[in-house]
Amino acid sequence: MKRVLAAHCLLLSLRCGAEAGTIPKPDPSAYNLCAGCHGLDGTGMKVGDLKLAPSLLESPIVKGDPEWFALVVLKGITKESDTHLEFMVPQELSLDDTQLATVLNFVRSEYGGKAAPVSVEQIAAIRAKYKDMTDSITRAKLAELAKAKETPKATP
């Protein structure tokens, strides 16, 4: 798989830099963890007029930088409105790096408009970077982190 991807990078000049490493195949069974709230089709499990959780199909977090998607699943995302009935639970302790990469890759390929896959090594680095973060992530914090990442560092 790794070799196939590398060949694609050479042949098609894909932006493969970030995806180098071990890329687990998107496995639908990994999504069992999420389906109870986000629904079997990713649109959010309905309860009458309400939903347990938001649709993943329109989520910019799912399609975007895998760092934010991984963080949301590792730490959970703080509930800031009563639009959805459930809570996004932190899964840091229940998923190892391969399992997390597998579920993210399934969601990104199935509901994320074929967003680029994530490697086990990327997940390991993200987990290590945020190991001291004990609270669930907030949307404001995500925006702040994203802004800091985009802003080029001052030259030393």
Question: Taking CB under 6 A as the rule, does residue 126 contact ligand HEC?
Answer: no
Classify each residue of 55-93 as buried b or exposed e, where b means 16 or more C-beta atoms within 10 Å of its C-beta: ebbebebbbebbbbbbbbbbbbbeeeeeebebebebbbe
State residue 50 phi and psi, 5-degree precision: -105, 175
How many residues lie near ligand HEC (CB under 6 A)?
27
Give the relative orientation of helices 139-150 and 66-75 as an angle to the nearest 10 degrees.
150
Question: Taking CB under 6 A as the rule, does residue 137 contact ligand HEC?
Answer: no
Instruction: Pick out residues in 105-124 that bind ligand HEC (CB under 6 A).
Output: 107
Task: Kindly state the smallest distance separating residue 15's Cβ from ligand HEC, in Å.
Answer: 22
Q: Please say which residue, 19 or 100, places its beta carbon nearer to ligand HEC.
A: 100
For ligand HEC, which residue of 37, 74, 101, 123 counts as binding (CB under 6 A)? 37
For the record, the structure tokens of 6 come out as 């590398």
Do 107 and 116 form a contact (C-beta atoms < 8 A)?
no
Instruction: Pick out residues in 78-107 that bind ligand HEC (CB under 6 A).
Output: 79-81, 84, 86-89, 91, 103, 107
Do 87 and 75 form a contact (C-beta atoms < 8 A)?
no
Footprint of ligand HEC (CB under 6 A)? 33-34, 36-38, 53-54, 56, 59-62, 69, 72-73, 77, 79-81, 84, 86-89, 91, 103, 107
